[in-house]
Chains A and B, each alone.
Chain A
């Protein structure tokens, strides 16, 4: 079973997405974290195949999660999700992509969009889905 870590600072959002993962419980094992710090400590403890992370969060932003995952666990696939930016001039999902996220989804997205992205990333080999640009 593939292990997925979902990180978002909104508990309602985590619960709602978790309910949508329920029918896939025999293929994907979902773990949730409420902030970047919690996510990073979970990543130290156990292996994951895929991380889905929100970007703007208190206590370690999603961008830090992406950076650390790309640096310490380059084999883990990353999907960035976000509902917007703090400043109009900056699209955080573009930034997330340039930090190494393999896929980005703007909220609100449908669960089908998310599942399709997960399937694509978990079935593709590392070469084909390498990030467009990664930080050295």
Chain B
């Protein structure tokens, strides 16, 4: 039997209602009773039952209409509804399922059958909930893993400019002491205390001091050192900003986001993953309107696809010693959707595995290198999380393009857990 659950029994006939409620209570369920449609909807909103047993023919609002209302409310849209009715007409049965009913029991009913069906639907509902929770947990785990993996790359990207900004600063520090020495010499020459030197002496002392300070070199190199340091600081600040954008905590509500910027920041934090094997080109449509999305999840999708593209290219070009590949990311508006294309010049996907690439646990990578979750998560986030679509165009020996389409108008949110 399912563990304790709350069941709402709706029937205008007090006898039937009583029999059902009593039998279910004896089985260990908590029961609620409603005598008509509006009372049923009120109790459902208030107590959020785990299952509803619903009569069809009732005075006032009928069971089909009650079911439609329950399905349209966020708090009860997932609650299984089992119709119990004397109506056995096929049109009625069809209507029961079309308004969102999970099952249909005809009167006169056998209590054992009712109990068995209630138990089965509660178990099924619970299993789906568990699956949704695990999927959300998996996404979080994969995101943490990716952030950890990126951290090594980001450290590398920050350490290099930190190195040369430090070297430039040290050079400028030493340069300044040379310039101070030069100024001291000039001051000495202009001092009233010392006897006035001859013109020849003056010229030779100044020349010597200028040589000593390596002035020609300083005049050429100081501006370059300053420019290079500013450039280095800009690089550091760019990657820190991108990391902040990428690790956006990710709201459970969709927000209007600039996906071009999300792509730019994700390619920046992931630079270390692709830059040794590929060049990356961005063709981002500036006129693309904001897209309603779960930004943290979308960042994760883009990251997964970039890392996959880099791996596909690395399989062809090795560590970069056999040429370089290319990753091209393009955004555009296609009708009422935003389209993101991520194309690589890797080896392509063999036809035999086309249909499996989005399956959880399917991987072509060697043991320890891939969990087989990357593309499965991409698929879930795009289709279930955003009501969008993902397609793949691939040719063995030429490369692969993933095409994501996201609706520009937000669909009703049914993915709070994700």
Residues of A within 8 A of B (CB): 10, 12-13, 15-17, 19-20, 22-23, 56-61, 64, 82-88, 106-111
Contact = CB atoms under 8 A, between A and B. Distances in A.
A53 to B, nearest CB: 14
7 contacts: A12-B228, A13-B163, A15-B228, A16-B225, A58-B320, A88-B152, A108-B162
B156 A20 contact: no
Contacts of B168: 16, 19
B290 interface: no
Contacts of B151: 88
Contact of B160 (A13, A19, A20, A23): A13
B275 interface: yes
B160 A107 contact: yes
Given A12-B232, A60-B321, A84 B156 contact: yes
B217 A22 contact: yes
B218 to A, nearest CB: 10
B320 A10 contact: no
A88 B145 CA distance: 11
Contacts of B149: 87-88
B166 A108 contact: yes
Given A12-B161, A61-B319, A108-B166, A19 B156 contact: no
Interface string B289-328: 0000000000000000000000000000001110010000
A16 B164 contact: yes
Contacts of B415: none
A56 B155 contact: no
A110 B159 contact: no
Contact of B153 (A16, A59, A84, A110): A84
What does DSSP make chain A's interface, helix, strand, loop or mixed? loop
Nearest to A90: B152
Nearest to A22: B217
A19 B225 contact: yes
A7 to B, nearest CB: 14
B395 interface: no
Given A22-B214, A58-B275, A17 B152 contact: no
Interface in B164-206: 164-168, 170-171, 174
A86 B164 contact: no
B319 A87 contact: no
A110 B164 CA distance: 10
B363 interface: no
B148 interface: yes
Interface in B137-153: 148-149, 151-153
Contacts of A83: 155-160, 163
Given A20-B167, A86-B152, A111-B170, A58 B159 contact: no
Interface string B316-349: 0001110010000000000000000000000000
Contact of A58 (B157, B164, B324): B324
A10 B157 CA distance: 11
B231 interface: yes
Contacts of B157: 83
A22 B277 CA distance: 34
B383 interface: no
A15 B166 CA distance: 12
Contacts of A16: 163-165, 167-168, 171, 225, 228
Contacts of B164: 10, 12-13, 15-17
Nearest to A63: B319
A58 B276 contact: yes
